[in-house]
Amino acid sequence: MKNTKNSKVNICVVGAGYVGLVSGACLAELGHRVVCVDNDPSKIKLLRKGVMPIYEEGLEQVVKKNVKAGRLSFANSVKEGMHYGGHRAEAIFIAVGTPPREDGSADLSAIEKVSEDVAKNMTGYTVIVEKSTVPVATCDWIEKTVKRHNKHHLPFDVASNPEFLREGTAVGDFLKPDRIVAGVSSKEAEALMRRIYKPIKNSPIVFTSVKSAELIKHASNSFLSTKISFINAVANVCEKTGANVEDVARGMGLDKRIGASFLKAGIGFGGFCFPKDLEAFYWLSAQVGYNFELLKTVKDINEGQKMWLLKKIEEELWNIQGKTISLLGLAFKPETDDMRFAPSLDIIRELLKRGAKVRAYDPISQENARKRIKGIYFAKDAYDCAKDADCVCLITEWKEFGKLDQKKLLSIVKHQIMVDGRNLYDPAKMRELGWTYKSVGRP
Ligand SMILES: NC(=O)c1ccc[n+]([C@@H]2O[C@H](COP(=O)([O-])OP(=O)(O)OC[C@H]3O[C@@H](n4cnc5c(N)ncnc54)[C@H](O)[C@@H]3O)[C@@H](O)[C@H]2O)c1
């Protein structure tokens, strides 16, 4: 049954969320035959109707094109997905969620469940590719689980293939990655991973041990979080000294050893990756006997940064009680509808605690936000959001907020106070227009 000559691989992707659906669609785009599986029947129903369950630029076109070409299908169970249309899956990609537990560790129960399902439905040599972000040694557990439930002792390998796509640019990131990381423990698994990714030209594949690959993902996300917290800490020093964090970041970033990316000061990072991966890496390090104190500090700086916004509002309004605060943007970053661990959630909680009346508007994540946030007014657009505001706060730097008619906004608000948590606007221009304007680390 092993088919190493054919370049097309039969793939089953388990978990059709931000990572699984994008990976599945893009693997089909590379020419493979892919089945995406999810245990949420409503998602599969939508996908079969051609409706995307998430907002991701360009995803719908890739999905529709590959469904039409017969390379992409959807299934409700691992059993169905592994033998869809009579084709046996040679590779199973696990892309289910790994949410944080109370203590900061990753909840890996969905990974265990999928491993068990895969073991029970294998009918030949299978490579189980771990794509979710997991702590080092998770693949050892997958291997043990599969062995335990693999009654016919069929051959298999477990590989680690962490995903580095970013929400908002996920399709492009998957098809043109900076690098592909593959942790393998056999020649067969390496050969299959090479076949799968062969159509992606100009991106190096880094083959490592399985454990190194697992660690690369946690180390990468923790390093990027560190860069963000570092520049946010620098922004705080800038504010106290009159320096400009954008100039400082530009001067730093031109040094090739530092690099310009991830040196943008703001109200902190959020989303389903950085906060939980940072936390999980700290937790894992402690488990293996290393106190990775730096990561704790990175987290503390980030938590503090979210509250920067409240400090700025109070500096202008004194008491927040009874005041109307308008929030432009809710998603943790632009071009996504993902509200998981968005800084806006903490900010709104604090504002409500202090008795503010909160109005908010987000171009895309509004519906997801409604499910998570109660007690605020969801506005129709940015202008409706700014109506009678004592203070307008920019939370997410959506492109449309860069093009707002500032004169119109100024005429709608009660007090012309703007706190820009993403340094979207030019301070001089905003002040010239009449705003009392505050931004992060800029005079
Ligand atoms: N979102 C990102 O930008 C991103 C980027 C890189 C890596 N990751 C990692 O990828 C993993 C998935 O993240 P996501 O954002 O795609 O999560 P998600 O919540 O959007 O998707 C997970 C999907 O798995 C499904 N699922 C859960 N248990 C299942 C089971 N037993 N069988 C079938 N389906 C099941 C859920 O219904 C859901 O649709 C996480 O480990 C995350 O850290 C995420």
CA distances for 357 relative to 325, 361, 370, 371, 388, angstroms: 6, 14, 16, 19, 11
Report the separation in Å between the CA atom of 122 and the middle of ligand 1, taken as the mean of its atom positions.
22
Per DSSP, which regions of 162-306 are E strands? 180-183, 205-208
Q: Are 12 and 76 in contact (CB under 8 A)?
A: no
Dump the DSSP string for 281-330: HHHHHHHTT---HHHHHHHHHHHHHHHHHHHHHHHHHS--TT-EEEEE--
* Domains of the chain by residue range: 10-208, 221-439
Architecture category of domain 10-208 in CATH: 3-Layer(aba) Sandwich (3.40)
| 183 pLDDT higher than 80 | yes
Query: And the tokens for 198?
Result: 């062969």
Give the span between the Cα atoms of 291 and 395, in whole angstroms: 33
Residue 214: CB within 6 Å of ligand 1? Answer: no
Which atom of ligand 1 lies closest to the CA of 114?
31
The pLDDT of residue 2 is 44
Task: Specify the 3-state DSSP secondary structure of 47.
Answer: helix
Return the active site residues: 273
Give the span between the Cα atoms of 384 and 104, in whole angstroms: 39
Report the separation in Å between the CA atom of 24 and the middle of ligand 1, taken as the mean of its atom positions.
12
Which atom of ligand 1 lies closest to the CA of 166?
3
Q: Are 324 and 357 in contact (CB under 8 A)?
A: yes
Give the span between the Cα atoms of 382 and 391, in whole angstroms: 13
| 5 pLDDT higher than 60 | no
The pLDDT of residue 7 is 87
CB neighbours (10 Å) of residue 402?
11
Q: Are 10-208 and 221-439 in the same CATH fold? A: yes
Q: What is the mean pLDDT of residues 345-365?
A: 97
According to DSSP, the residues that pair with 10 across neighbouring strands are: 33
Residue 111: CB within 6 Å of ligand 1? Answer: no
Report the separation in Å between the CA atom of 36 and the middle of ligand 1, taken as the mean of its atom positions.
12
Q: What is the mean pLDDT of residues 416-426?
A: 98
Which atom of ligand 1 lies closest to the CA of 18?
16
Residue 94: closest CA among 166, 146, 153: 146
pLDDT tens-digit series, residues 201-249: 999 999 999 999 999 999 999 999 999 999 999 999 999 999 999 999 9
**CATH class of the region 221-439:** alpha beta
156-160: strand order across its sheet:
72-75, 33-37, 10-14, 91-94, 126-130, 156-160, 180-183, 205-208
